[in-house]
Structure 1
Amino acid sequence: MSLRGYVCVVTGAGGFLGQRMVRLLLEEEKLAEIRLVDKRVQPQLREQRNYDQNKTKVSVFEGDIRDGDFLRKACRGASVVFHIASLIDVIGAVDYSELYGVNVKGTQLLLEACIQENVVSFIYTSSIEVAGPNPNGDPIINGTEDTVYTCSLKFPYSRTKQEAERRTLQAHGEVLQNGGRLATCALRPMYIYGEGCRFLLGHMADGIRNKDVLYRTSAQEARVNPVYVGNVALAHLQAARSLGDPQKRSDIGGNFYYIADDTPPVSYSDFNHVVMAPLGFRIQEKPMLPLRLFYLLCFLLEILRVMLRPFVRIVPPINRQLLTMLNTPFSFSYRKAQRELGYAPRYTWEEARRRTIEWLASQLPKERERIRA
């Protein structure tokens, strides 16, 4: 089903996935309007008409996602909301109140705005981290939406994303002001990579400082299945098309879907090497410390952080929860999204890797210059 004539709202439109989503919508659909919602929208995004062959109206809404009146204005007359905006933090750099305010309260306010403004479809960008891994590091290999897994989430980020996902799915079927019904679903992408990925840039910068040797924080056997940003955007579009289909709407609504592609399973550290080796980077054969000693060091840093909290705030670059995530085999299948949403990865692993390497190559001189300065 096409979204022809729809008014679509994209929150987090200035971010990594948000920009790709906007571009895909302008390239693929004959929309009446697309609304770019973010705290700040970069000047180049205001010129998105350059991508658009169908002269879709592009509107910019700059504001705070915790502002209900602002969200109602952004949603007025819209048909579909792609809720991509969130705060991401796995090292404890952001206060929990800030994470909760943006990730949970912002989502709740946006759902309420959709109900008040009669938006019929809501697609929430969740995260693989709402599934785990648990503190024990119990593995999942090629898991599905039906995989049973006992998990007590430790990351504040994971907990807020899980709560926002729960509220989104719970809102499926809510009665709109005009008597219609809201349909919602959530997508759980694996670790997203591709052009614009700030995490890859961060690892590259660390490698430059370490004489072009990438740090190893993951054991080789701790395989995960990253997913290319272009395929994640496509999954969102397919979800919107499916929710717009009266025959599929009731079956899909209220469900979550894992989103992956055919990127080969590999550890987080080895994935960094796969996309940076062509640029001349090597990787440590083993972590700097044995894993158990690494955990102990993280524990001591956490104690130090608590002791110093009344006087100074320190944020260690790694903690026990992050170390567990980096060293737990945790991979999932996208077959349910394929069956029910009609999702099929558009970009092969070879093309996704090539595009990512080309982008990293374009950033490398800037990173070297920045670090030298």
Structure 2
Amino acid sequence: TMVTGGGGYLGYNLGCALVSSGVAVVLFDVRKPKWEIPSGADFFRGDVRDYEAVFEACEGVDCVFHVAACGMSGLEQANHIESINVGGTKIIIDVCKQRNIPRLIYTSTVNVVFGGNPIEEGDEETVPYFPLEKQFNHYSRTKAIADQMVLAANGTLLKGGDKLHTCVLRPPGIYGPEEQRHLPRVAVNIQRRLFNFKFGNHKVQMNWVHIGNLVQAHLLAAEALTSEKGYVASGQAYYIHDGENVIFSEWIVPLFEKLGYRKPWIHIPVLLAHIAATVMEYLHLILKPVFSFTPFLTRNEVWNVTVTHTFRIDKARNQLGYKPQKFSFADSVD
């Protein structure tokens, strides 16, 4: 089994779980994991945009988890994001066909359907992709293209004559011990006193997923692409989260307490927050050639905490046998 993005948080944890279940794993990434590579896993340094490297790494592989992605921070160049998220996905699909790899699981995101539009208890059948031309960040747009590419590849012929079986998993924000992307950014913004402000309606709800639950979903998805399971997941998309809707301002209270700050209490209009984020993003673009800085707020982040977007996971429960465990956000704050 190969895991692209195997040097990252999700890819590495998925690789460890696969090894624990007795599966030989190739962790494929441009950077080695910061954690120790477990016995039973091999690290292969390579770029998903490099066909030869991907082809070589996939020797003897019968399942690919395509986790690698770029652009979540919103700061990378558009063509760089596209070359990895879209170009890299095309190469993964092509190599699966050439190497006769029958199973491909793609880690997508809820952002393929969410772009600031309210979604309450959305499901896979009724919520359409957010229009690509309206996606204001390249990460979401390119992930949506790749999501559709992977689903479209389902049922295509492999070189040896068998069929390729694909599915996509769409998680929201990930949290867990040592998570590197979401929590540190929230923590920094709390320390900057940015989250002393409340934006918009305090009843806004969203979903999160613990790393343990997301890994479980990936393992189940791989099983569900086998003949033993009747290829039940073949060509399917699944929302994956902890099984509960949370109010962001309440959910992050443990992080405030851990950092020694009071809960947010100053209320500012959403429009003001959105304008500030827009200005930050454009300043970042304009100044990038001479001065690089990280915007303390992006439009995507404003939408995430000011617009309800919740999803049903019934399909994953019923078809994959997904059973999210109960985790405490407070336990992940270290």
How does the TM-score come out when normalised to structure 2? Answer: 0.89
2:9 to 16, 20, 27: 16
Q: Larger Rg: 1 or 2?
A: 1
Question: What amino acid is the match of 1:176?
Answer: L
1:30 to 13, 18, 22: 22
Equivalent position of 1:180 in the other structure: 162
Question: What amino acid is the match of 2:302?
Answer: L
1:144 to 106, 123, 128: 123
Residue 323 of structure 1 and its aligned partner are, at CA, apart by 1.8
| Structure 2 contact 197–265 (Cα < 8 Å) conserved | no
- Runs of at least 5 residues in structure 1 that lack an aligned partner in the other structure: 1-7, 50-56, 362-373
- Which whole-Å deviations, capped at 9, do the CAs of 1:194-239 have from their partners, x for residues lacking one? 112222122223333549x755456422210111110000000000
Equivalent position of 1:208 in the other structure: 191
| Structure 1 contact 141–331 (Cα < 8 Å) conserved | yes
Q: Alignment length, in residue pairs?
A: 330
Residue 175 of structure 1 and its aligned partner are, at CA, apart by 1.0
1:60-79 to structure 2, matched below 5 A, reads 60-79=43-62
Equivalent position of 2:95 in the other structure: 113
Equivalent position of 2:243 in the other structure: 262
Question: What amino acid is the match of 1:228?
Answer: H
Equivalent position of 2:333 in the other structure: 360
Residue 326 of structure 1 and its aligned partner are, at CA, apart by 2.4
Residue 333 of structure 1 and its aligned partner are, at CA, apart by 0.9
Name the SS for the 2:104 alignment partner: strand
Equivalent position of 1:131 in the other structure: 113
Work out the CA distance in 2 between the residues paired with 1:156 and 1:205: 24
* Amino-acid identity (%): 30
Work out the CA distance in 1 between the residues paired with 2:307 and 2:152: 30
Work out the CA distance in 1 between the residues paired with 2:256 and 2:288: 37
1:85 to 68, 73, 96: 68
Distance 1:44 1:210, change over 3 A: same
Question: What amino acid is the match of 1:186?
Answer: V
- Which whole-Å deviations, capped at 9, do the CAs of 1:283-319 have from their partners, x for residues lacking one? 21234x3222223334444555566567656653324
| Structure 1 contact 225–263 (Cα < 8 Å) conserved | yes
1:237-316 to structure 2, matched below 5 A, reads 237-249=219-231, 251-267=232-248, 269-277=249-257, 280-287=260-267, 289-301=268-280, 304=283, 316=295
Work out the CA distance in 2 between the residues paired with 1:186 and 1:193: 20
- Which whole-Å deviations, capped at 9, do the CAs of 1:76-109 have from their partners, x for residues lacking one? 111111111111334x310011101111111110
| Structure 1 contact 200–272 (Cα < 8 Å) conserved | no
Query: Deviating runs (4+, > 6 A) in structure 1?
Result: none
Equivalent position of 2:217 in the other structure: 235
Work out the CA distance in 1 between the residues paired with 2:253 and 2:139: 26
Work out the CA distance in 2 between the residues paired with 1:282 and 1:174: 55
| Structure 1 contact 130–161 (Cα < 8 Å) conserved | yes
Q: Which moved more, 1:335-344 or 1:316-325?
A: 316-325
Name the SS for the 2:206 alignment partner: coil
1:45 aligns with 2:36: yes
TM-align CA RMSD: 2.5
Q: Which moved more, 1:239-248 or 1:186-195?
A: 239-248
Work out the CA distance in 2 between the residues paired with 1:82 and 1:248: 19
Residue 165 of structure 1 and its aligned partner are, at CA, apart by 0.8
Work out the CA distance in 2 between the residues paired with 1:13 and 1:172: 23
Distance 1:311 1:209, change over 3 A: closer
> Of Structure 1 and Structure 2, which has the larger fraction of its residues in helix?
1
Residue 357 of structure 1 and its aligned partner are, at CA, apart by 3.1
Question: What amino acid is the match of 1:295?
Answer: H
How does the TM-score come out when normalised to structure 1? Answer: 0.81
Work out the CA distance in 2 between the residues paired with 1:154 and 1:297: 15
Work out the CA distance in 1 between the residues paired with 2:288 and 2:192: 29
Equivalent position of 2:145 in the other structure: 163
Question: What amino acid is the match of 1:260?
Answer: H
| Structure 1 contact 14–45 (Cα < 8 Å) conserved | no
Equivalent position of 1:368 in the other structure: none
| Structure 2 contact 200–270 (Cα < 8 Å) conserved | no
1:329 to 305, 308, 317: 308
